[in-house]
Structure 1
């Protein structure tokens, strides 16, 4: 059992999907959770209440629009005043698909800011404090698209490849901090393939309908081109991996980009 009692985790985009699943896993191990995301008051209250029920001694919401660097500064200052992040999970991200020739410049800029620059800014703020304490975990939720490319996703693929590279640089810079007993400071990426979130639900429903309502057959068809297992991952599986990376036993696992993709990137 991983024990995160006394640790504070900031998980961006943690009001739903993979971010919420990661926050649930960390809460279950006793971490305080700094919740973040784009949500209304009801969803914020629901997420914080849910995470406290999962085991977090505290779960509080922190505002911060990742499209605006000054708002990120305010977010990190507020978390620092709350005690500082021992664990930073950069999960929030956005995507837009279009051919390279027709990708709007403003879309490129926004996707790069949210998916890459925001992680640089949160890491720059959080890592020195982790080094001082001798324990820290940065887990960046990248994507298989941090390892391989797909058509019509130029800014997303560029950002996720950049996130993997950024993480490796930070891992090298902080590899010598802390000790085996304390857990040291590590920086890693998790690279999910097809994962069942709300974004995927309409595509699954459409394919299932074409197979007479057979959801498993619809998923298999949807995944056939990319993911050899033809099985999706659940967000909780990403949460379980993130939790393990937070264990002091993982002190020498740093600078990695771990695919959870049913063999997609092995091809």
Structure 2
């Protein structure tokens, strides 16, 4: 089964399937029309710094929900869900090193942990598709390509680091339409941060992403880059906090609200 085969399934049903270990792959294309979120889980003593970091860097870190310390339930976007079990795959970080990529993090859960859900660019892909703009990683059943750039985020407390971006090749004539489509969704990264030459933002080879999978860029297409919710993972590698949990790239939390709920008309 492909992720797109679950396009018409409800978020609650897919979260239950993930909780039972029946889906451990990336989520683009699942639960069409519903918001997907990036995840960062930090000890309470770092949570305030991250909240300020997100506030200062809203393009890569748009906050959808924050949990109470020790409670894995995202009460705003998915009441009854569990951030320790309801993502297909996680990353566990110790001193800035990824030590494991488990399919649940129940054994790591602690009373001092705070979960942050951040908007994801998968949410505006429906608008791109409805506008007739191709989304190559969905066409090719791959994870979206992501890159660590030379664009520095505004620091906050202990947190600093470079912005991560996701890339979609867009036919040149459709780039303005893609900018307008995605600009309607500022709560899920919004408009692109860069269009064209990847080297200008520190990407040496667009065919070798730092995370995700490479996708084909056809003649007449332009690489277009959006801020990405994996930016906190770059900050984690840079700052090396003692402990942190994130989603594995492309393995998102699927929330109850619709993408349209976050659109600005």
Identify whether the pair has TM-score above 0.5, normalized to the shorter chain: no
TM-score by length of 2: 0.25
Higher strand share: 2
Q: Greater helix share, 1 or 2? A: 1
**Greater radius of gyration (CA):** 1
Query: What is the TM-score when the length of structure 1 is the normalising length?
Result: 0.25
